[in-house]
Amino acid sequence: MKKLKYDVVVLGGGAAGMGAINGALSQNVSVLLIEREASTGGVLNQCIHNGFGVHVFKQELSGPEYHEMYMEKLSRFDAMYETTVLNVDVKSNTLNTISISGVYEIKYGSLVLATGARERPFEALRIPGYRPAGVFTAGLAQHFVNLENRLPGHKAVIVGSGDIGLIMARRLTLEGVEVEGVYEIMPYQGGLTRNIVQCLDDFNIPLHLSTSIVEVHGKDRLEGVTVAKFENGHPVRKTERFVKCDTLVASVGLIPENDLVNETIELSDGSGANVDDLMRTNIYNVFAAGNNVCIHDLVDFAAVEGEIAGKNAAHVAKGKELPERMGILKKGEGVGLLSTKYTIAAEPFKLFVRVKKPMGTTILRLNDQKIKTVLAAKPSEMIEVKMDPSRYNMKGNLILSAMEVDKI
């Protein structure tokens, strides 16, 4: 077995991973990227639509452009491509990889997990019926269309209104596939409003809220689905309708990918890594950034988190001791997700908050302190909150709540 040693090892070369390389390189340490695919970029490579980079590059880029421009920022780093990490041992600071070059044991000073997310497959929804060909996750359909030039079918139904599903509704329409509609079980959309407008409204694709699939038809290839109205998570009788289609594209959620470390790293109830504002996990020299922490709206946010993680990972690798955690952030009323679990309460940082359900004018509070007011709060749009220890008490238990104004 071959052995290697690096100051900072980054797992995953998507947006957060590239950010981490950038952050670590700025501190003059040795950096190794380990990437499963043949190049950096992650899912950006198949996202040929634009809208990336508004924050980091101050312009709208396609995924591959974003990838290319970010790579230009990076000076020299080492990388192992088409390499899979089989296990991480946080006690000995080593990990084991496998690739066509054989097996390696790699010792790290610090580790940055930038392993991204995976899609929840349609099969996991336990929807009754047959299990024919023609059922795709949105990402798989996108891969076929954008990277392999293959059409998944000719008449499609999209289940779930997550962003990739909306993007695929437009993409398939542009390629001549008839998109019959988007079906969302919740009474509100899953993706960004801009995607509802640009991907559905502009193409007259109907979005059916509180509606989902109750049966899949077709033994070999998909022949159609039965849809029905839903109330409180249950189908409503007599609202069933058959929709003929040969393609079903599922955009029903992303799951933070932490399988490699799920026995050592503290995870949230949504299986994201619990980090502090330094992007540090419960292990002093293991950092995490991007969609494996929580599912972000924008790729820029993942990249910026990566930069913070990479920089702090480099500090730790060089022997610097980072400040201790002083505050614990907890979800209060109305809050579904917080990007950060702990804080050192020493410097301002950006916290991302998702509300549980759509609300009108909403006030965000940290314990009893009012910290932000938003005119409309939606679960699909992260609320950015500047957490500033010079303005708020950020030590101890910090309960973040979101309440609609007229209900207060």
The least distance separating another protein from the CB of residue 12, rounded to whole angstroms, comes to 12
Helix axes 15-25, 299-317, angle to 10 degrees: 40
Contact pick of 179, 214, 295, 387 for another protein (by CB under 8 A): 214
Nearest to 115 by CA among 285, 286, 278: 286
| Interface pick for another protein out of 114, 145, 267, 275 (rule CB under 8 A) | 145
176 near another protein (CB under 8 A): yes
Q: How far is the CB of 138 from another protein (least distance, A)?
A: 9
| Nearer Cβ to another protein (68/105) | 105
Q: How many residues bind another protein (CB under 8 A)?
A: 51
Q: Which of 110, 113, 134, 111 is nearest to 122 (CA)?
A: 134
For residues 25 and 348, give the distance between their C-alpha atoms in angstroms, rounded to a whole number: 23
Residue 164 CB, shortest distance to another protein, in Å, is 11
Query: Of 59-67, 127-135, 181-189, 365-373, which part binds another protein (CB under 8 A)?
Result: 127-135
Instruction: Give, in degrees to the nearest 5, the angle at Cα 333 between 331 and 337.
Output: 35
Q: Which of 119-125's residues contact partners 24+ apart within 8 Å by CB, and which partners?
A: 119/164, 119/250, 119/251, 119/252, 119/253, 119/254, 119/255, 120/250, 120/252, 120/253, 120/254, 120/255, 121/250, 122/159, 122/248, 122/250, 122/252, 125/250, 125/252
Q: Which two tokens stand for residue 328?
A: 């614990």
Q: Which is nearer to another protein, 36 or 318 (CB)?
A: 36
Least CB distance from residue 65 to another protein, whole Å? 20
Measured CA to CA, the distance from residue 252 to residue 260 in angstroms comes to: 23
Q: What b/e readout covers 304-321, taking b as 16+ CB neighbours within 10 angstroms?
A: bbbbbbbbbbbbbbeeee
Stretch in the footprint of another protein (CB under 8 A) among 181-189, 214-222, 291-299, 397-405: 214-222
Q: Using the rule CB under 8 A, which residue among 55, 219, 241, 370 binds another protein?
A: 219
Q: Does 143 bind another protein (CB under 8 A)?
A: yes
| 82 forms part of the interface with another protein (CB under 8 A) | yes
User: Residues 301-305: contacts with CB within 8 Å, 24+ apart?
Assistant: 301/55, 301/352, 301/382, 302/14, 302/15, 302/16, 302/19, 303/15, 303/16, 303/18, 303/19, 303/56, 303/70, 304/19, 304/55, 304/56, 304/350, 305/16, 305/19, 305/279, 305/339
405 belongs to the binding site for another protein (CB under 8 A): no
- Residue from 4, 71, 79, 133 touching another protein (CB under 8 A): that is 133
User: Which of residues 317 and 337 has its CB atom nearest to another protein in the complex?
Assistant: 337
Please state, in angstroms and rounded to a whole number, the distance separating the CA atoms of residues 339 and 294. 6
- For residue 92, state whether it binds another protein (rule: CB under 8 A): no
Q: Does 153 bind another protein (CB under 8 A)?
A: yes
DSSP three-state, residue 229: strand
Under DSSP, the state recorded for 339 is S
Question: Which segment (9-17, 64-72, 106-114, 136-144) binds another protein by CB under 8 A?
Answer: 136-144
Task: Decide: is 375 part of the binding site for another protein (CB under 8 A).
Answer: no
1 touches another protein by CB under 8 A = yes
Nearer to another protein, 175 or 347 (CB): 175
Q: How far is the CB of 124 from another protein (least distance, A)?
A: 5
Cβ at position 344, least distance to another protein in Å? 33
- In the set 69, 71, 151, 209, which binds another protein (CB under 8 A)? 151
Other Cβ atoms closer than 10 A to 373: 11
User: Nearest distance from residue 222's CB to another protein, in Å?
Assistant: 9
Who contacts 119 (Cβ-Cβ below 8 Å, separation ≥6)? 137, 138, 139, 140, 164, 250, 251, 252, 253, 254, 255
Residue 96 binding another protein, by CB under 8 A? yes
- Contact with another protein (CB under 8 A) among 4, 5, 36, 49: 36
Q: CB nearer to another protein: give 143 or 395.
A: 143
Identify any residues that bridge with 112 across adjacent strands, giving them in sequence order: 10, 287
| Interaction of residue 4 with another protein, rule CB under 8 A | no
Beta bridge partners of residue 332, listed in sequence order: none
CB of 253 to another protein, least distance (A): 11
Least Cβ distance, residue 333 to another protein (angstroms) = 23
Q: Does 390 bind another protein (CB under 8 A)?
A: no
Q: Where along the sequence are the contacts to another protein (CB under 8 A)?
A: 1, 36, 82, 84, 86, 96, 98-103, 118-119, 121-126, 128-134, 136-137, 139-140, 143-145, 147-154, 175-176, 214-216, 219-221, 235
